[in-house]
Protein backbone atom coordinates (compact mmCIF):
# COMPACT_ATOMS: atom_id res chain seq x y z
CA UNK A 1 0.00 0.00 0.00
CA UNK A 2 2.81 2.42 0.82
CA UNK A 3 4.44 2.28 -2.61
CA UNK A 4 1.06 3.01 -4.20
CA UNK A 5 0.46 5.83 -1.74
CA UNK A 6 3.86 7.32 -2.46
CA UNK A 7 3.23 7.22 -6.18
CA UNK A 8 -0.20 8.70 -5.72
CA UNK A 9 1.19 11.47 -3.52
CA UNK A 10 3.72 12.30 -6.19
CA UNK A 11 1.13 12.41 -8.96
CA UNK A 12 -1.13 14.54 -6.79
CA UNK A 13 1.74 16.91 -6.06
CA UNK A 14 2.15 17.55 -9.77
CA UNK A 15 -1.45 18.77 -10.10
CA UNK A 16 -1.94 20.01 -6.52
CA UNK A 17 -0.41 23.37 -7.34
CA UNK A 18 -3.29 23.96 -9.76
CA UNK A 19 -6.23 22.86 -7.68
CA UNK A 20 -9.05 24.16 -5.53
CA UNK A 21 -8.42 21.60 -2.80
CA UNK A 22 -5.37 19.44 -2.32
CA UNK A 23 -5.03 16.79 0.36
CA UNK A 24 -1.30 16.06 0.41
CA UNK A 25 -0.18 12.72 1.85
CA UNK A 26 -2.29 12.88 5.02
CA UNK A 27 -2.15 10.32 7.80
CA UNK A 28 -4.43 10.32 10.85
CA UNK A 29 -4.04 7.73 13.61
CA UNK A 30 -6.39 6.98 16.47
CA UNK A 31 -4.59 4.90 19.12
CA UNK A 32 -2.24 3.48 16.51
CA UNK A 33 -5.04 2.71 14.04
CA UNK A 34 -4.66 4.59 10.76
CA UNK A 35 -8.02 6.08 9.82
CA UNK A 36 -6.25 7.91 6.98
CA UNK A 37 -3.14 6.34 5.56
CA UNK A 38 -1.11 8.65 3.32
CA UNK A 39 -4.23 9.97 1.61
CA UNK A 40 -3.74 12.25 -1.39
CA UNK A 41 -6.53 13.87 -3.32
CA UNK A 42 -6.76 16.76 -5.78
CA UNK A 43 -9.98 18.61 -6.63
CA UNK A 44 -10.32 21.09 -9.44
CA UNK A 45 -12.31 24.32 -9.26
CA UNK A 46 -15.99 23.68 -9.97
CA UNK A 47 -15.63 19.93 -9.73
CA UNK A 48 -18.29 17.63 -8.29
CA UNK A 49 -16.50 14.68 -6.71
CA UNK A 50 -18.21 11.68 -5.18
CA UNK A 51 -16.36 9.77 -2.49
CA UNK A 52 -17.49 6.24 -1.78
CA UNK A 53 -16.13 3.33 0.22
CA UNK A 54 -17.02 0.90 3.01
CA UNK A 55 -17.85 1.89 6.58
CA UNK A 56 -14.72 2.99 8.38
CA UNK A 57 -12.84 3.77 5.15
CA UNK A 58 -12.01 7.24 6.45
CA UNK A 59 -14.49 9.39 4.48
CA UNK A 60 -15.76 11.42 7.42
CA UNK A 61 -12.27 11.62 8.92
CA UNK A 62 -11.11 13.15 5.64
CA UNK A 63 -13.76 15.86 5.98
CA UNK A 64 -12.73 16.37 9.62
CA UNK A 65 -9.16 17.03 8.49
CA UNK A 66 -10.16 19.41 5.69
CA UNK A 67 -12.35 21.46 8.03
CA UNK A 68 -9.78 21.53 10.82
CA UNK A 69 -11.77 19.42 13.29
CA UNK A 70 -9.03 16.79 13.29
CA UNK A 71 -5.31 17.50 13.00
CA UNK A 72 -3.38 15.08 10.81
CA UNK A 73 -0.28 13.33 12.21
CA UNK A 74 1.51 14.01 8.95
CA UNK A 75 0.60 15.64 5.66
CA UNK A 76 -1.08 18.92 4.74
CA UNK A 77 -4.22 20.26 3.13
CA UNK A 78 -4.15 23.23 0.76
CA UNK A 79 -6.69 25.40 -1.00
CA UNK A 80 -6.43 27.51 -4.12
CA UNK A 81 -3.39 26.25 -6.00
CA UNK A 82 -1.48 25.44 -2.85
CA UNK A 83 -1.53 29.07 -1.69
CA UNK A 84 -3.60 28.54 1.48
CA UNK A 85 -2.55 25.85 3.93
CA UNK A 86 -5.68 24.78 5.80
CA UNK A 87 -3.79 22.48 8.15
CA UNK A 88 -2.16 25.54 9.75
CA UNK A 89 -5.50 27.18 10.42
CA UNK A 90 -8.19 26.95 13.10
CA UNK A 91 -11.69 25.64 12.33
CA UNK A 92 -13.45 29.04 12.14
CA UNK A 93 -10.73 30.48 9.92
CA UNK A 94 -11.04 27.54 7.54
CA UNK A 95 -14.77 28.19 7.31
CA UNK A 96 -13.99 31.85 6.74
CA UNK A 97 -11.74 31.23 3.73
CA UNK A 98 -14.59 29.34 2.10
CA UNK A 99 -14.87 25.72 3.23
CA UNK A 100 -18.48 24.84 4.08
CA UNK A 101 -19.57 21.53 5.53
CA UNK A 102 -22.89 19.82 5.80
CA UNK A 103 -23.09 17.13 8.45
CA UNK A 104 -25.26 14.07 8.01
CA UNK A 105 -28.05 15.11 10.35
CA UNK A 106 -29.75 18.43 9.62
CA UNK A 107 -28.88 21.09 12.18
CA UNK A 108 -31.34 23.83 11.28
CA UNK A 109 -32.90 25.96 14.03
CA UNK A 110 -36.29 24.30 14.26
CA UNK A 111 -37.99 27.20 16.08
CA UNK A 112 -37.02 29.70 13.40
CA UNK A 113 -38.56 30.15 9.97
CA UNK A 114 -36.86 29.13 6.75
CA UNK A 115 -36.00 32.77 6.05
CA UNK A 116 -34.66 33.37 9.56
CA UNK A 117 -32.37 30.35 9.29
CA UNK A 118 -30.90 31.67 6.04
CA UNK A 119 -30.67 35.17 7.53
CA UNK A 120 -28.69 33.89 10.52
CA UNK A 121 -26.34 31.88 8.30
CA UNK A 122 -25.83 34.92 6.10
CA UNK A 123 -24.96 37.17 9.03
CA UNK A 124 -22.87 34.54 10.79
CA UNK A 125 -20.44 34.74 7.91
CA UNK A 126 -19.33 38.17 9.04
CA UNK A 127 -18.30 36.52 12.27
CA UNK A 128 -19.13 39.40 14.57
CA UNK A 129 -21.96 38.84 17.02
CA UNK A 130 -23.22 42.40 16.66
CA UNK A 131 -24.04 41.78 13.00
CA UNK A 132 -26.85 39.47 14.16
CA UNK A 133 -28.73 42.63 15.13
CA UNK A 134 -27.84 44.53 11.99
CA UNK A 135 -30.31 44.72 9.13
CA UNK A 136 -29.71 42.66 6.04
CA UNK A 137 -28.05 44.52 3.20
CA UNK A 138 -29.71 44.50 -0.21
CA UNK A 139 -27.00 42.22 -1.45
CA UNK A 140 -27.60 39.74 1.39
CA UNK A 141 -31.33 39.85 0.73
CA UNK A 142 -30.74 39.08 -2.95
CA UNK A 143 -28.50 36.18 -2.05
CA UNK A 144 -31.16 34.74 0.26
CA UNK A 145 -33.83 35.07 -2.45
CA UNK A 146 -31.61 33.39 -4.98
CA UNK A 147 -30.76 30.60 -2.54
CA UNK A 148 -34.45 30.01 -1.76
CA UNK A 149 -35.00 29.45 -5.48
CA UNK A 150 -32.04 27.10 -5.74
CA UNK A 151 -33.11 24.92 -2.81
CA UNK A 152 -36.76 24.97 -3.88
CA UNK A 153 -38.08 26.57 -0.70
CA UNK A 154 -39.33 29.91 -2.06
CA UNK A 155 -42.85 28.87 -1.13
CA UNK A 156 -41.87 28.16 2.48
CA UNK A 157 -40.12 31.36 3.55
CA UNK A 158 -42.25 31.84 6.67
CA UNK A 159 -42.64 28.16 7.55
CA UNK A 160 -41.19 27.17 10.90
CA UNK A 161 -38.26 24.91 10.01
CA UNK A 162 -39.31 22.23 12.48
CA UNK A 163 -42.38 21.67 10.28
CA UNK A 164 -40.40 20.95 7.12
CA UNK A 165 -39.96 17.40 5.79
CA UNK A 166 -36.63 15.68 6.37
CA UNK A 167 -35.61 16.40 2.77
CA UNK A 168 -36.58 20.05 3.00
CA UNK A 169 -34.51 20.44 6.18
CA UNK A 170 -31.51 18.99 4.38
CA UNK A 171 -32.00 21.45 1.51
CA UNK A 172 -32.37 24.32 3.95
CA UNK A 173 -29.09 23.36 5.51
CA UNK A 174 -27.46 23.26 2.09
CA UNK A 175 -28.97 26.73 1.58
CA UNK A 176 -27.41 27.90 4.85
CA UNK A 177 -24.04 26.94 3.41
CA UNK A 178 -24.82 28.55 0.05
CA UNK A 179 -25.63 31.99 1.45
CA UNK A 180 -22.08 32.01 2.82
CA UNK A 181 -20.83 31.53 -0.73
CA UNK A 182 -18.30 28.74 -0.06
CA UNK A 183 -15.56 27.86 -2.51
CA UNK A 184 -15.59 24.26 -1.34
CA UNK A 185 -18.69 22.43 -0.07
CA UNK A 186 -18.36 19.12 1.77
CA UNK A 187 -21.57 17.13 2.00
CA UNK A 188 -21.68 13.93 4.08
CA UNK A 189 -24.42 11.41 3.17
CA UNK A 190 -27.01 13.94 1.97
CA UNK A 191 -29.73 11.49 0.91
CA UNK A 192 -29.80 9.15 3.90
CA UNK A 193 -33.43 8.88 5.03
CA UNK A 194 -34.86 10.70 2.02
CA UNK A 195 -37.81 9.59 -0.13
CA UNK A 196 -37.23 8.76 -3.81
CA UNK A 197 -38.61 12.12 -4.85
CA UNK A 198 -36.41 13.95 -2.39
CA UNK A 199 -33.38 12.01 -3.64
CA UNK A 200 -34.18 13.05 -7.23
CA UNK A 201 -34.47 16.67 -6.19
CA UNK A 202 -31.21 16.50 -4.22
CA UNK A 203 -29.40 15.06 -7.25
CA UNK A 204 -30.59 18.01 -9.35
CA UNK A 205 -29.63 20.44 -6.61
CA UNK A 206 -26.06 19.19 -6.10
CA UNK A 207 -25.63 18.90 -9.84
CA UNK A 208 -26.60 22.53 -10.25
CA UNK A 209 -24.18 23.67 -7.53
CA UNK A 210 -21.05 22.26 -9.14
CA UNK A 211 -19.35 24.61 -11.55
CA UNK A 212 -19.84 27.61 -9.31
CA UNK A 213 -17.98 25.88 -6.49
CA UNK A 214 -16.15 22.65 -5.74
CA UNK A 215 -18.51 20.07 -4.26
CA UNK A 216 -17.45 16.90 -2.44
CA UNK A 217 -20.22 14.38 -1.79
CA UNK A 218 -19.82 11.32 0.41
CA UNK A 219 -22.66 8.87 -0.11
CA UNK A 220 -23.46 5.14 0.19
CA UNK A 221 -26.55 5.26 -2.05
CA UNK A 222 -25.11 3.98 -5.32
CA UNK A 223 -28.15 4.88 -7.45
CA UNK A 224 -27.73 8.45 -6.29
CA UNK A 225 -23.97 8.45 -6.87
CA UNK A 226 -24.51 7.05 -10.38
CA UNK A 227 -26.84 9.95 -11.14
CA UNK A 228 -24.52 12.77 -10.15
CA UNK A 229 -21.08 11.22 -10.51
CA UNK A 230 -18.43 12.56 -12.77
CA UNK A 231 -15.21 11.48 -11.07
CA UNK A 232 -15.61 8.97 -8.25
CA UNK A 233 -12.97 8.27 -5.62
CA UNK A 234 -13.12 5.00 -3.70
CA UNK A 235 -11.57 5.12 -0.25
CA UNK A 236 -10.50 1.95 1.51
CA UNK A 237 -8.54 1.69 4.76
CA UNK A 238 -7.70 5.36 4.67
CA UNK A 239 -6.34 5.70 1.16
CA UNK A 240 -7.51 5.81 -2.45
CA UNK A 241 -8.33 2.37 -3.81
CA UNK A 242 -9.62 3.51 -7.19
CA UNK A 243 -10.56 6.72 -8.96
CA UNK A 244 -12.20 7.61 -12.26
CA UNK A 245 -15.55 7.67 -14.06
CA UNK A 246 -18.34 5.71 -12.34
CA UNK A 247 -18.54 2.91 -14.92
CA UNK A 248 -14.80 2.29 -14.71
CA UNK A 249 -14.77 2.30 -10.90
CA UNK A 250 -17.87 0.12 -10.75
CA UNK A 251 -16.20 -2.61 -12.77
CA UNK A 252 -12.89 -2.49 -10.91
CA UNK A 253 -12.38 -5.95 -9.33
CA UNK A 254 -10.78 -4.46 -6.18
CA UNK A 255 -13.72 -2.11 -5.68
CA UNK A 256 -16.23 -4.93 -6.17
CA UNK A 257 -14.34 -7.03 -3.67
CA UNK A 258 -14.09 -4.49 -0.84
CA UNK A 259 -17.28 -2.54 -1.36
CA UNK A 260 -19.79 -3.04 -4.14
CA UNK A 261 -19.82 -6.82 -3.93
CA UNK A 262 -21.24 -6.90 -0.43
Query: Using the rule CB under 6 A, is 58 a contact of ligand ATP?
Result: yes
Nearer Cβ to ligand ATP (148/234)? 234
- List 38, 59, 143, 201, residue binding ligand ATP (CB under 6 A): 59
Question: Whole-number minimum distance, CB 45 to ligand ATP, in Å?
Answer: 25
* CB-CB contact of 240 with 249 (8 Å): no
Q: Select from 2-10, 49-57, 157-165, 247-255 the region that touches ligand ATP (CB under 6 A).
A: 49-57
243 binds ligand ATP (CB under 6 A): no
Among 55, 83, 158, 262, indicate the residue that binds ligand ATP (CB under 6 A): 55
Give dist(CA 107, CA 36) in Å, integer: 27
The piece of 8-16, 52-60, 145-153, 163-171 that touches ligand ATP (CB under 6 A) is 52-60
Packing angle of the helix pair 138-150, 166-178 (nearest 10 deg): 140
Tell me if 189 sits within 8 A of 220, measured CB to CB: yes
Exposed/middle/buried for residue 174 (C-beta within 10 Å: 0-12, 13-18, 19+): buried
From the list 55-63, 91-99, 115-123, 247-255, the region that binds ligand ATP by CB under 6 A is: 55-63
Question: Does the protein bind ligand ATP through residue 56 (CB under 6 A)?
Answer: yes
The answer to whether 190 contacts ligand ATP (rule: CB under 6 A) is: no
Does residue 61 interact with ligand ATP by CB under 6 A? Answer: yes
Query: In whole angstroms, what is the distance from residue 34 CA to residue 27 CA?
Result: 7
State the DSSP code for 262: -
Going by the DSSP 8-state scheme, the letter that residue 50 receives in this structure is E
- Classified as helix, coil or strand, 153 is coil
Amino acid sequence: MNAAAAQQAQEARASGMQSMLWVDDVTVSFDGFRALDRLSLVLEPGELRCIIGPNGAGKTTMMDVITGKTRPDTGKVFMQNGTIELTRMKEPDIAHVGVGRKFQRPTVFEQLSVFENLELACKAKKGAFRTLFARLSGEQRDRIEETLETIGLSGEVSTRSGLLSHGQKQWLEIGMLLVQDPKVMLVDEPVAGMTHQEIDRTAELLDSLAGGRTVVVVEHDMDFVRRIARTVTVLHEGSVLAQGPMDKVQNDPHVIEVYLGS
